[in-house]
Structure 1
Amino acid sequence: MMENKLEELSQKLGIATSFSAQGIANQKVSDELLKFFCAQFGVDVSSEQKIKEELQKLTDAAYKQTVQPIYVVRQNALAIDVCLKQKDAAEKIELTAKRKDDENAKTLSIEFSKIEEKKIGNTTYDKLRLQIKENLEIGYYDLELKNGKHTYHTTLAVAPEKCYTTADVESAKLWGFTLQLYSLKSKRNWGIGDFSDLKDFARIAAGLGADIIGLNPINALFHDFPENASPYSSISRLFLNPIYIDVEQTQGFSESIKKKYAKEIIEANAAELIDYTNVYNIKIKVLYELFEKMKKPNKAFQAFKKEQGINLHLFAVYQAIYQSKCRNVWGGWQAWPKGLKNQSPMDLAIFEQTHENEIEFFKFLQFEAARQFNEAAEYVKSLGLKIGLYRDLPVGVCKDSAELWSDRYVYFKDLGAGAPPDAFFPNGQKWCLGAFNPVELKKQAYQPFLKILRANMKSAGALRIDHVMSLMRLFMIKDTGVEGTYIYYHFEDMLALTALESHLNKCVIVGESIGNVPEGFMEKLKENNIYAMSVLWAERWDFGNGDFKAPQYYSEEAFASVGTHDMTPLKMWWFGYDIELKNKLGLISDIEKQNLYKGREADRWRLLKVLDENGTWPKDNLRKSDYLYGEGYPEGLSEAVHKLLGKAKSKVVVLQMEDILGVTELQNLPGTDRDKYPNWRHKLPINLEDLATNMTFIRNITAVKEGRG
């Protein structure tokens, strides 16, 4: 009996009691793990009696709460449910709404009907459905419910039926690029791609007819540990990484400053791999000098601080405390003195008084990063790209992040996001990323989620949501173990809010859905105008194990590409260097290596087959050999692949620079850290200044344009 009650309690909280992974259906979650997960919601599961009591409390709470913290409705279905004591339900009910950006309240015409009643103790509650008869514009409203002598307040979010798109995206076959911004190499940068490089690349791309430029996540990382360079493990998705600032474009910069650091800059620029510590430290030293030179208050800086408000202030305070307490010791905010860890107003006030300059400097870094990024985004728009910048929103955030410190109660404490085993990652993945508690998230009217969406949609024409299944469910794993299960979110609310923010920010939404995708999920994305990602390596018949699909079988409502930052670049894939690398690092056994080599041999043949059948080889560079054993690289292969991609039915095609330029290193090898492999550190093989005249680059672009027609 206890098992059933425990499962019932778990399901009410959104915890999956079983799940399917890697072809094995309904893998049952142990009672021990369910109890651990329930405890993460603040629920007492110490005994059978406590489980029953908690279950009853949850059931009753749904009726005792008159209004929800937020109502998320679609514009074509304006109705909300409220719960009133039966004696109050007989009283007059009045509903008024005021847009968040308007002072005028409006009394709404409503019809209500009783849909349920529930007796709790001696009190009977009626659940009423209030149907709003007026048409309401999309947006956020302060909602006031008057019932007799009682008044209740909440928020109403009115969302459109679908996410934003444009006529250009819907009618044209667009193409463009996806970049790892850090990898851009130029004669002028300081050892890492920056926002000025982005502008230069955009100018080249626009001249060739591109309409979209995708970026890796550019959110803030650890100031004191630059080597923690994964863009998918941010300390805040609200703010930018200052390493992308072009210091030479910062107010007050002079050639004399550059001469002072000339040796370090030359070394950083010449380094084969990005030396994050060296690059970041040089930039921060110079930026601090420029910050100190600001004698009189900068009006733009003051306006930025006012606009960003408490979010910027807490972020800057977090960074200043981290610098003070963790510069030489990895301990994180959990190891800070209790008052600072728990944000005691008195302790924070004392710290802020004694570290005012450091806090102001961290705000300045965000001001300058935002200024330069926004300027780059405006420049991209001025070039006429139909979509423009295409940003990337990570699924989670570092467990030691500013996000968790400043808003910890909306995140799980002892759980981290990951993924169960799938075809690409047979051992599953433990990302150790902080993720939202769905119960607390709704209590806060989804504000933490909305803030992140807005920050990443700003200045972007499109947004890629990493692991988009997280709008519905996220696989969570114990911080201290490997066991996990899914946590379910309020999917309809999350979808509707994403649609609303996409319209308010005029931003197209793309969902990355590689992995375990729930049944019917992709159809739901399509209904909501969320574009899928079609990846060549995954676009195969027989559940990803058969022949490569011809271009006409790609999804139309998709952004198509050869691979992703986690996948092997084309030339590396052809030679099988990724298999050799994984074996060398101990990620696969010798037997697995041999089996993978055999599979790769068959896959080379399958790739050549789809290229032959679709006639995508360049006419002046027809293939002269198969090289099925990886002993050579077929002439014109990358051009043929990109023409095939160009012919895809998908609305948008994006090219990776690594595939175009024949790179034979992975940008990221999942399952490894920098002690095993230099993830996120590879520069592109040619300088930006030479890109527009590089024949390999030009021929590949010509191929994709021919495919697009």
Structure 2
Amino acid sequence: MPQATDDLPEQLLRLADAYGVVPDYWGFDGTHKLVAPGTLVKVLAALGVDASSPERIEVSLAHAVDDPWRRTLPPVLVLRQGQSPEVPVHVRDGDAVEVWIELDEESGGGRRDLSQLDAYTEPRTVDGRRVGRATFRVPPDLPLGWHTMHAGGPSGPARCRVVVTPERLELPAQLRDGRAWGFMAQLYSVRSRQSWGAGDLGDLAEIAWLAGRRCGSDFLLINPLHAAEPVGPMSPSPYLPTTRRFVNPLYLRVEDIRETGYLSAADRSLVEWAADPVRELGDDEGPIDRDAVWQAKRSALDVVFAAPRSAARQAAFEAFREEQGEGLEAFALWCALSEKYGAGTAWPTEAHDPASALVQRARSELADRIDFWCWLQWVADDQLGAAQRAAREGGMSIGIMHDLAVGVHPEGADAWALGDVLATEIGVGAPPDMYNQQGQNWSQPPWRPDALARAGYLPYRDMLRTVLRHAGAIRIDHVIGLFRLWWIPNGVPADQGAYVRYDHEALIGILCLEAARAGAVVIGEDLGTFEPWVRDYLTDRGILGTSVLWFEKDDKGTPLAPERYRRLALATVTTHDLPPTAGYLAEEHVALRERLGLLTEPVHVVRRAARAERATMLDALAQRGLVGPDPSEREVVEALHRWVLASPAALVGVSLADAVGERRAQNQPGTDTEYPNWKVPLADGSGRLVGVEELFESARLRSLVEAIRRDL
């Protein structure tokens, strides 16, 4: 904590520390930065803490001390298996209390009584009531799972969640002693003749099976498939969804829904008519038009939804709804309300409150549309399961690797349904770094650490479970956000935020527990600015990191020798926030940022640095004998992948864009409408579209795969 000053008084610093708000940080350039006092006040306000005056700060500090004494049990207890922590239990001074744990059904159920320790703590007067503290010990042999702690006695009943997590997420045998490689794809960009203008889950199954069978790849990493707006315009970014728990029905293959095959001739014609206007979009070299695709698919899906289902299919649908519970029902209700009130219009004030009388009436009035939106998730779940089965049947050892975005749209389904556990008037992002020197604001409301704990981490758990249902692995975008997030109060620049700390033991532990139960590998995208100990912590918990060739430098700023890469990591040449490698070598990242006015240094300085970086990399490749004099673009791209393969990394990822010679970036950070982010269809170096049918016939892809398989 920095020294107190007139601008940052000691009491404000103490209050910030009590709620995990960090008043200083180290910039990417090595300089020590202090957070503006006004930012601290606004961030604390988003946490429900009043720091608007010295007097209010004193009151808030007193509340921070007393709050634990107001609760009989902690809001939640998350521990590693084998740990035996002490638990404070607060009751009226002098009251007896009994504490026990009921084990969850997955662990076989049962009751475990806790023993009280002989540990006296001086009682405390809180809100005019004398409160005593009894201390109990959790037994060290609790099984993994989501258990419930109970307290009973004259002071009344209380309960809280007890989550027992693995000490470490164990890797599959193949990764303990060997390695795996796979492709990385932006699914919407890889289209087939059967998809309706955007890559879909049918394409996913096809690509995964072919990649495993023809190329010997072990996984296919795809962009987040989280749901976007149900009514256009649809946000193109897969990293700005309305919810992270449920799937975007844009990716559905209408023809693969069983009921489609049994439609009447008239209804089948309706489906075909819906498809006709968008099928030709698959040959359009321009930006992908999600709104047109979704409009066509929604019309067709309405027809299929109305078709009768067999008794078994209906029972399966109902079982899915029951399993997904209130989370699915709330999401479907929000979608139905979005349909009713339309896009770009103001909802009635009451509609923004899920508990309002208007919303409760809507549950009945919109019941059929709620059924429709629940059904879409059911058929999406079925197609996701089919894609993972196709991947494994094609020979993949891991299969589909799903991607989890950092957060959600501030006006989306999660913000509506989970408002109690998300901060308002705040966006998350990142402070300035080498590639984004103005900082980034992703405009997503973050979890409130305190509220998430009070909810027993159930919203977080439910989200993970849904994403992991049909995943062989999961990539956590900006995994550092499970330790701390850069909170930016609304109305201030991205570089004027502050870090807020999270209970990483709880968040990482729950992630390990849910991944272990799903049998999935976890990869954390641990790039950017972070504290040095974080990577060691993730490694200790069995979570792989991320190594991108262009970001791996030694102390002199030259390319890090591949032998010095981390073992527990997904190593790649590029990432979706850079142009494909062919474009990067051609300085597309410089030209694009200059065009869009994103440079903070003169263009000649940035271009000189890019050319020096490329020259240094080519020299390093030549020294290892990976390229000869005057290599072609294809030879350099293959050599860069062979460089990464020379590392000990357990996972190696290969971008499909690199494999076919694409040069255009999928995303330019720091832009919105200035560039067609997340809309670029897959093409080769000449700009010719590459569909699923041609993908594995590409001479360039086959050459790269041969190089990879030789060096494995």
Q: TM-score, structure 1 length as denominator?
A: 0.92
Residue 202 in structure 1 maps to residue 208 in structure 2: yes
The amino acid of 1:294's aligned partner reads: P
Task: Supply the distance in 2 between the matched residues of 1:634 and 1:341 (Cα, whole angstroms).
Answer: 53
The amino acid of 1:358's aligned partner reads: R
Residue 531 in structure 1 maps to residue 535 in structure 2: no
The amino acid of 2:702's aligned partner reads: I
The amino acid of 1:319's aligned partner reads: C
Structure 2 partner of 1:303: 319
Task: Supply the distance in 2 between the matched residues of 1:216 and 1:574 (Cα, whole angstroms).
Answer: 24
The verdict on how the C-alpha distance between 1:104 and 1:565 changes in structure 2, with shifts beyond 3 A counting, is closer
The correspondence of residues 211-230 of structure 1 with structure 2, limited to 5 A, is: 211-230=218-237
SS in structure 1 at match of 2:670: coil
695, 701, 711: which is aligned to 1:707? 711
Structure 1 partner of 2:394: 383
SS in structure 1 at match of 2:67: helix
- 8 Å CA contact 1:63–1:118 kept in 2: the answer is no
Task: Supply the distance in 2 between the matched residues of 1:391 and 1:104 (Cα, whole angstroms).
Answer: 32
Residue 278 in structure 1 maps to residue 312 in structure 2: no
The correspondence of residues 67-86 of structure 1 with structure 2, limited to 5 A, is: 67-84=73-90
- Offset at 1:111? 6.0
SS in structure 2 at match of 1:182: helix
- 8 Å CA contact 1:138–1:160 kept in 2: the answer is yes
The verdict on how the C-alpha distance between 1:337 and 1:473 changes in structure 2, with shifts beyond 3 A counting, is same
Residue 596 in structure 1 maps to residue 609 in structure 2: no
The amino acid of 1:214's aligned partner reads: L
SS in structure 2 at match of 1:463: strand
- 8 Å CA contact 1:562–1:655 kept in 2: the answer is yes
- 8 Å CA contact 2:249–2:376 kept in 1: the answer is yes
- Offset at 1:338? 2.4
Structure 2 partner of 1:341: 352
Task: Supply the distance in 2 between the matched residues of 1:513 and 1:295 (Cα, whole angstroms).
Answer: 45
- Offset at 1:73? 1.0
SS in structure 2 at match of 1:336: coil
Residue 641 in structure 1 maps to residue 632 in structure 2: no
Residue 8 in structure 1 maps to residue 24 in structure 2: no
- Offset at 1:634? 4.0
Residue 696 in structure 1 maps to residue 700 in structure 2: yes
Task: Supply the distance in 2 between the matched residues of 1:462 and 1:178 (Cα, whole angstroms).
Answer: 13
The verdict on how the C-alpha distance between 1:270 and 1:490 changes in structure 2, with shifts beyond 3 A counting, is same
The correspondence of residues 172-251 of structure 1 with structure 2, limited to 5 A, is: 172-207=178-213, 208-251=215-258
- Offset at 1:102? 6.6
Task: Supply the distance in 2 between the matched residues of 1:195 and 1:349 (Cα, whole angstroms).
Answer: 34
SS in structure 1 at match of 2:174: helix
Task: Give the RMSD, CA atoms, in angstroms.
Answer: 2.4
Aligned-residue sequence identity (percent) comes to: 26
The correspondence of residues 468-487 of structure 1 with structure 2, limited to 5 A, is: 468-482=479-493, 483-487=496-500
Structure 2 partner of 1:610: 620
* More divergent stretch after superposition (27-36 vs 252-261): 252-261
- Offset at 1:336? 2.0
The verdict on how the C-alpha distance between 1:103 and 1:186 changes in structure 2, with shifts beyond 3 A counting, is closer
List runs of 5+ in structure 2 lacking aligned partners. Answer: 1-5, 262-267, 684-688
Q: Summarize deviations over 1:48-74 as a string: whole Å, max 9, x none.
A: 222111110110112332311211111
The verdict on how the C-alpha distance between 1:117 and 1:425 changes in structure 2, with shifts beyond 3 A counting, is farther
The amino acid of 2:322's aligned partner reads: K
The verdict on how the C-alpha distance between 1:187 and 1:26 changes in structure 2, with shifts beyond 3 A counting, is same
The amino acid of 2:235's aligned partner reads: N
- Offset at 1:251? 2.9
Residue 450 in structure 1 maps to residue 457 in structure 2: no
- Offset at 1:562? 0.9
The verdict on how the C-alpha distance between 1:78 and 1:227 changes in structure 2, with shifts beyond 3 A counting, is same
- Offset at 1:27? 1.8
The verdict on how the C-alpha distance between 1:67 and 1:261 changes in structure 2, with shifts beyond 3 A counting, is closer
The amino acid of 1:276's aligned partner reads: R
Task: Supply the distance in 1 between the matched residues of 2:431 and 2:447 (Cα, whole angstroms).
Answer: 18
- 8 Å CA contact 1:81–1:127 kept in 2: the answer is no
- Offset at 1:225? 2.1
SS in structure 2 at match of 1:63: helix
The correspondence of residues 653-672 of structure 1 with structure 2, limited to 5 A, is: 653-672=652-671
The verdict on how the C-alpha distance between 1:107 and 1:76 changes in structure 2, with shifts beyond 3 A counting, is closer
Task: Supply the distance in 2 between the matched residues of 1:145 and 1:637 (Cα, whole angstroms).
Answer: 65
- Offset at 1:117? 4.1
SS in structure 1 at match of 2:420: helix
Residue 64 in structure 1 maps to residue 81 in structure 2: no
The verdict on how the C-alpha distance between 1:574 and 1:326 changes in structure 2, with shifts beyond 3 A counting, is same
Structure 1 partner of 2:329: 313
- 8 Å CA contact 1:117–1:125 kept in 2: the answer is no
Structure 2 partner of 1:496: 509
SS in structure 2 at match of 1:239: coil
The verdict on how the C-alpha distance between 1:128 and 1:653 changes in structure 2, with shifts beyond 3 A counting, is farther
SS in structure 1 at match of 2:325: helix
Structure 2 partner of 1:629: none
Task: Supply the distance in 1 between the matched residues of 2:106 and 2:618 (Cα, whole angstroms).
Answer: 57
The verdict on how the C-alpha distance between 1:85 and 1:303 changes in structure 2, with shifts beyond 3 A counting, is closer
The verdict on how the C-alpha distance between 1:610 and 1:58 changes in structure 2, with shifts beyond 3 A counting, is same
Structure 2 partner of 1:630: none
SS in structure 2 at match of 1:140: strand
- 8 Å CA contact 1:114–1:126 kept in 2: the answer is no
- Offset at 1:42? 2.0
Task: Supply the distance in 2 between the matched residues of 1:504 and 1:231 (Cα, whole angstroms).
Answer: 26
The amino acid of 1:244's aligned partner reads: Y
516, 530, 535: which is aligned to 1:522? 535
Task: Supply the distance in 2 between the matched residues of 1:125 and 1:247 (Cα, whole angstroms).
Answer: 61
Structure 1 partner of 2:449: 438
The verdict on how the C-alpha distance between 1:292 and 1:15 changes in structure 2, with shifts beyond 3 A counting, is same
- 8 Å CA contact 1:339–1:348 kept in 2: the answer is yes
Q: Summarize deviations over 1:419-450 as a string: whole Å, max 9, x none.
A: 00112211110110111011111111111111
- Offset at 1:656? 0.5
Task: Supply the distance in 2 between the matched residues of 1:677 and 1:419 (Cα, whole angstroms).
Answer: 22
Structure 1 partner of 2:119: 114
The amino acid of 1:114's aligned partner reads: A
- 8 Å CA contact 2:682–2:691 kept in 1: the answer is no
Task: Supply the distance in 2 between the matched residues of 1:393 and 1:498 (Cα, whole angstroms).
Answer: 12
Residue 397 in structure 1 maps to residue 397 in structure 2: no
The verdict on how the C-alpha distance between 1:504 and 1:263 changes in structure 2, with shifts beyond 3 A counting, is closer
Task: Supply the distance in 2 between the matched residues of 1:318 and 1:134 (Cα, whole angstroms).
Answer: 43
SS in structure 1 at match of 2:664: coil
Q: Summarize deviations over 1:637-663 as a string: whole Å, max 9, x none.
A: 111111122221101101001112111
- 8 Å CA contact 2:271–2:303 kept in 1: the answer is no
The verdict on how the C-alpha distance between 1:228 and 1:133 changes in structure 2, with shifts beyond 3 A counting, is closer
- Offset at 1:354? 2.9
The amino acid of 1:107's aligned partner reads: R
- Offset at 1:346? 2.7
- Offset at 1:487? 1.0
The amino acid of 1:642's aligned partner reads: H
The amino acid of 1:9's aligned partner reads: L
- Offset at 1:510? 0.9
Residue 98 in structure 1 maps to residue 103 in structure 2: yes
The amino acid of 1:402's aligned partner reads: A
- Offset at 1:345? 4.7
Structure 1 partner of 2:264: none
Q: Summarize deviations over 1:562-602 as a string: whole Å, max 9, x none.
A: 1111112110011112211221222227x622112211221
The correspondence of residues 667-678 of structure 1 with structure 2, limited to 5 A, is: 667-678=666-677
Task: Supply the distance in 2 between the matched residues of 1:453 and 1:115 (Cα, whole angstroms).
Answer: 40
Task: Supply the distance in 2 between the matched residues of 1:260 and 1:84 (Cα, whole angstroms).
Answer: 66
SS in structure 1 at match of 2:230: coil
- 8 Å CA contact 1:94–1:107 kept in 2: the answer is no
Task: Supply the distance in 2 between the matched residues of 1:669 and 1:101 (Cα, whole angstroms).
Answer: 45
Task: Supply the distance in 2 between the matched residues of 1:27 and 1:271 (Cα, whole angstroms).
Answer: 48
- Offset at 1:253? 2.9
Q: TM-score, structure 2 length as denominator?
A: 0.92
The amino acid of 2:320's aligned partner reads: F
SS in structure 1 at match of 2:574: coil
